[in-house]
A and B are shown apart, each in its own frame.
Chain A
């Protein structure tokens, strides 16, 4: 392995010496967590005769890796983006891309002849309650995507377009095989990752994530979005 600024030698279990850097470890962490999520999304557990609860195994392992990684790297909740001091700054930065994306959704929906319906997002649930649920789910996704994957991508590739593209590509990959949702999440991933690198605030990202989901569901053709299903669930 070529010499790198932060290369440190580290002894593995068999006693051999291996050059093991923060960068390679960060890359390994990303692969490990993303593979867990993909396994959870794609494992045909019920068809194989197992209970659906087995999906909790890779999810729990991924959570364990993320939490231990934060501890080892001395990252606080504040560092990760669970904070309010930069909330308005982050929202201001997000405002323009969110408005542009909303207009783009309206334009695509109008061009494709899809009826606009702002009550289409889980119509059996009060919209306010759906926003609360949507915000919670968005916060979890943004925490994993930005608070973990983006931060490790910055260690691996440095701050900038390389790591931003990597985060967006991973976010898209996790929405396979839903083509429209892959495209939307890739674009959203670019915006959120770039802004997180400038102003790390997960609450602002989660607010815009839930608002954008509402707008996307309300304006784009439901047949194209396929109920936002991803992984093996896309086919059933």
Chain B
């Protein structure tokens, strides 16, 4: 290979790497925007061996009822709509009405430490994709005895 050719080829490889890096960044940003809804938020108020409760709202669409999913120890347990009465959430100006709460009744769990996660379901504008956004972070609780 000639010296010039090698130099040109090395520049081409650098240019290609830059193009691909920009493409990957663009797709990553697009993926973040498409799958994340910053208007969705909520909180967990109670987590124990019997109940996990909290609230969830969509600031971008105040009238919409939010679907929430409960996972315990990384396993799906239940999905429900956050439509239970939570006047305190309304009074704190987090929601347009009172019915933004949820409460999961937990199944029988083995004794010991468990970790619960509650996610709000985020549907894309085209409704092609549904992603989960955690609310309140993972929360640990203890189940003392089998019922």
Contacts and interface: CB of A to CB of B under 8 A. Distances in A.
Interface in B1-42: 1, 3, 5-7, 9-13, 16-17, 19-20, 23-24, 26-31, 33-35
Nearest to B6: A10
Contacts of A61: 16, 19-20
Interface residues of A, number: 32
B47 to A, nearest CB: 30
Contacts, number: 77
A44 B27 contact: yes
B9 A10 contact: no
Contact of B6 (A13, A25, A58): A25
A41 interface: no
Interface of B is mostly: helix
Nearest to A21: B6
B133 to A, nearest CB: 15
Contacts of B24: 39, 43
A15 B45 CA distance: 64
A58 B129 contact: no
B9 A69 contact: yes
A197 interface: no
Contacts of A36: 16, 20
A229 B31 CA distance: 22
Closest 4 CB pairs of A and B: A48-B30, A48-B31, A49-B34, A48-B27
